[in-house]
């Protein structure tokens, strides 16, 4: 794995290289995605069926589009009972964590009759997209569905692409049942996003769409934003490890590769102040690659977006971490909790040598739907608030308004909005 001396020039070069992976740079696919979306808007089920036959090679119709209870029961039979137990425990950990995020509506009343507040209401319908085939990740399904359930969303709809035989990954079906999905449709790709956004004869329109997918799914979510809400435009997976000389190089190498195996656009970066650690991590990476199943993907990922950055000081290393704003950040320093206090930008932070990134992916409870491509500077992990609307509440008595009406009128008139001022003034036109 390449070792690079960290300077302002190398930092800027790496940042520019990482940003190339953003879905915003894949504009060559936008016309195809927009064509699919418009097809679904105009022909509804007919377009969904045609695109499913074209892309997934399965003949979909109104009778087989929905997954049956019998298929869910069959999925339990296919899955190892030990894995089912793990999915159930993971779901419970995720639920417990997200329950702590719940907030209540609030109201602040004053003696003069002023009442201000915030009314919290869950959205009515949420649509969750789950990839299929080799990219089927039941863990992501749990992370999308459970916060919506905790928030109180009344109806949760899942779409996922079918195999050529119409089948759905058994793990996906079991996880959906455990998480509490209401209805599952065997539809994938941009056509699924369009169906959720606009509705068809079979698939109801939802209020928000969440969940990862390929570039066509990401661009489709971007295109329908505004008609519905979305979680984010997710980019390729990424991990950054911040370490000093006390860290275990073998653990670091293993953790870097846990993300590099996702796809050739994944990013894995170590930033450290120790040249000795950098050399040892590079050696451990080379050794692991010889034994891992997705070695060709890992090699391409590391060649494209893998770095070991050697910093002159811990402050330089921390500044780089904050500039990259990685999806996953592991801190392996002598005092990781102290180091963490200086981190401003990261999707999720893993502290200490036993908090490896896959712990967050599968089991700990915090959400693994995280901001990517530097968006941790302004985005947060998927959470309960993503499924809740906040409505402002305002009530004034005559007494309360009389104290401030002239100030409001002055403000409105200063903006040239005389009707605004008149709306307030009218209530006091007969006052002495």
pLDDT of 430:
81
pLDDT of 230:
96
Q: Chain-wide mean pLDDT for the chain?
A: 95
Q: Report CA-CA distances (Å) from 331 to 15, 280, 351, 393.
A: 20, 17, 5, 43
pLDDT of 130:
95
Task: Tell me the pTM.
Answer: 0.92
Percentage above 90 pLDDT, the chain = 88
Per-residue pLDDT reduced to its tens digit, 137-170: 899 999 999 999 999 999 999 999 999 999 999 9
C-alpha to C-alpha distance for 174 and 85, rounded to whole angstroms? 11
The tokens for 47 are 């377009």
Of 201, 81, 93, nearest in space to 139 by CA: 93
The tokens for 316 are 């330089």
pLDDT band at 133 (very low <50, low <70, confident <90, very high): confident
- Mean per-residue pLDDT, 68-78: 97
Per-residue pLDDT reduced to its tens digit, 320-348: 999 999 999 999 999 999 999 999 999 99
In b/e form, how buried is each residue of 200-218, taking b as 16+ CB within 10 angstroms? bebbeebbbbbbbbbbbbb
Q: Around Cβ 17, how many Cβ atoms within 10 Å? A: 13
Q: List the 125-129 sheet strands across, edge first.
A: 183-185, 155-159, 125-129, 208-210, 229-230
* Catalytic residue (one of 238, 262, 284, 328): 328
- 375/22: higher pLDDT: 375
C-alpha to C-alpha distance for 34 and 231, rounded to whole angstroms? 20
- Is 368 designated active site? no
- Is 328 designated active site? yes
Per-residue pLDDT reduced to its tens digit, 231-288: 988 788 899 999 999 999 999 999 999 999 988 889 999 999 999 999 999 999 999 9
Q: Is the pLDDT of residue 432 over 60?
A: no
C-alpha to C-alpha distance for 61 and 79, rounded to whole angstroms? 27
C-alpha to C-alpha distance for 172 and 189, rounded to whole angstroms? 16
pLDDT band at 391 (very low <50, low <70, confident <90, very high): very high
pLDDT band at 18 (very low <50, low <70, confident <90, very high): confident
SS3 306: strand
pLDDT of 15:
87
In whole angstroms, how large is the CA radius of gyration of the chain? 25
* Catalytic residue (one of 238, 261, 284, 327): 327
Per-residue pLDDT reduced to its tens digit, 167-217: 999 999 999 999 999 999 999 999 999 999 999 999 999 999 999 888 899
Q: Report CA-CA distances (Å) from 351 to 185, 269, 338.
A: 39, 16, 10
- Where helices occur in 21-128 by DSSP H, the ranges are 30-43, 45-56, 69-78, 81-99
pLDDT of 101:
97
């Amino acid at each position: 794995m390449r070792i690079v001396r960290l300077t302002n020039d190398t930092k800027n070069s790496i940042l520019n290289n990482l940003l190339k992976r953003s879905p915003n740079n894949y504009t060559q696919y936008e016309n195809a995605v927009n064509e699919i979306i418009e097809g679904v808007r105009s022909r509804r089920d007919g377009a969904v069926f045609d695109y499913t036959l074209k892309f997934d090679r399965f003949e979909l119709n109104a009778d087989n589009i929905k997954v049956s209870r019998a298929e869910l029961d069959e999925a339990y039979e296919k899955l190892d009972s030990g894995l089912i137990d793990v999915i159930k425990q993971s779901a419970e950990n995720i639920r417990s964590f997200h329950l702590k995020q719940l907030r209540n509506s609030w109201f602040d009343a004053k003696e003069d009759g002023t009442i201000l507040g915030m009314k919290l209401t869950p959205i009515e319908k949420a649509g969750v997209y789950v990839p299929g085939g080799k990219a089927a990740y039941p863990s992501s399904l749990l992370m999308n569905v459970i916060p919506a359930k905790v928030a109180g969303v009344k109806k949760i709809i899942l779409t996922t692409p079918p195999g050529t035989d119409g089948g759905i990954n058994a793990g996906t079906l079991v996880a959906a049942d455990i998480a509490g999905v209401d209805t599952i449709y065997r539809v994938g790709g941009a056509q699924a996003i369009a169906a959720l956004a606009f509705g068809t004869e079979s698939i109801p329109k939802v209020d928000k769409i969440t969940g990862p997918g390929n570039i066509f799914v990401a661009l489709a979510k971007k295109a329908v934003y505004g008609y519905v809400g979305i979680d984010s435009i997710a980019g390729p997976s990424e991990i950054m490890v911040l370490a000093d000389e006390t860290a275990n190089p073998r653990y670091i190498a293993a953790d870097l590769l846990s993300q590099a195996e996702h796809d050739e656009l994944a990013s894995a970066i170590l930033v450290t102040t120790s040249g000795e650690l950098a050399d040892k991590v590079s050696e451990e990476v080379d050794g692991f690659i010889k034994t891992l199943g997705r070695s060709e993907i890992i090699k391409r990922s590391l060649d494209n977006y893998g770095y070991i950055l050697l910093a002159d000081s811990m402050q330089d290393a921390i500044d780089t971490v904050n500039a990259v704003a990685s999806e996953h950040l592991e801190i392996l320093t002598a005092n990781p909790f102290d180091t963490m206090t200086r981190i401003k930008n990261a999707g999720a932070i893993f502290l200490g040598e036993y908090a490896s990134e896959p712990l967050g992916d599968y089991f700990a409870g915090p959400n693994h739907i995280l901001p990517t491509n530097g968006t941790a500077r302004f985005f947060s992990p998927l959470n309960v608030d993503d499924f809740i609307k906040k409505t402002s509440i305002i009530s004034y008595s005559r007494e309360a308004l009389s104290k401030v009406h002239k100030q409001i009128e002055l403000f409105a008139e200063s903006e040239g909005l005389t009707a605004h001022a008149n709306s307030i003034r009218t209530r006091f036109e007969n006052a002495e």
